[in-house]
A and B are shown apart, each in its own frame.
Chain A
Amino acid sequence: MSYRQLSQEERQELGREQRSYLWGLGLSLLLTLLPFGLAAFTDMAHLTLWWIIGACALVQIVVHLRFFLHITLARNKREDLQLILFTVLILTLLCGGTLWILFDLYQRMMPNMMP
Chain B
Amino acid sequence: MSRTITRHPGLNLGPAHDDDATDVREELVFGFWVFMMSDLIIFGMLFATYVTMLGATAGGPTPHDVLDIRPAFTETMLLLASSFTFGMASLALKYRQGRRHLVGWLLVTLVLGLAFVGHELHEFVSMFHAGYVPSRSGYLSSFFSLVPLHGLHVTFASLWLIAILFQIAVYGIDSQVKNGLLRLAILWHFLDIVWIGIFSLVYLGGAA
A61 x B193 contact (CB < 8 A):
yes
Q: Can you sample 9 A-B contacts with CB below 8 Å? A: A1-B98, A18-B88, A24-B87, A29-B80, A35-B200, A39-B208, A69-B190, A74-B4, A102-B52
Q: Give the interface size bracket for B toward A.
A: 35 or more
In the complex, A17 Cα to B92 Cα: how many Å? 11
B55 x A115 contact (CB < 8 A):
yes
B55 x A46 contact (CB < 8 A):
no
B204 x A103 contact (CB < 8 A):
no
A residues touching B (Cβ–Cβ < 8 Å)?
1-4, 6, 10, 14, 17-18, 21, 24-25, 28-29, 32, 35-36, 39-40, 46, 49-50, 53-54, 56-57, 60-61, 64-65, 68-71, 74, 76-77, 79-80, 83-84, 87, 90-91, 94-95, 98-99, 102-103, 106, 112-115
Kindly provide the distance from the CB of A39 to the nearest chain B CB, expressed in whole angstroms. 5
Complex interface residues of chain B between 18 and 76 (CB less than 8 A to chain A):
30, 33-34, 37, 40-41, 44-45, 47-49, 51-52, 54-56, 63, 69, 73, 76
B41 x A87 contact (CB < 8 A):
yes
Stretch at the interface among B5-13, B107-115, B127-135, B150-158: B5-13
Kindly provide the distance from the CB of B202 to the nearest chain A CB, expressed in whole angstroms. 11
In the complex, A73 Cα to B6 Cα: how many Å? 13
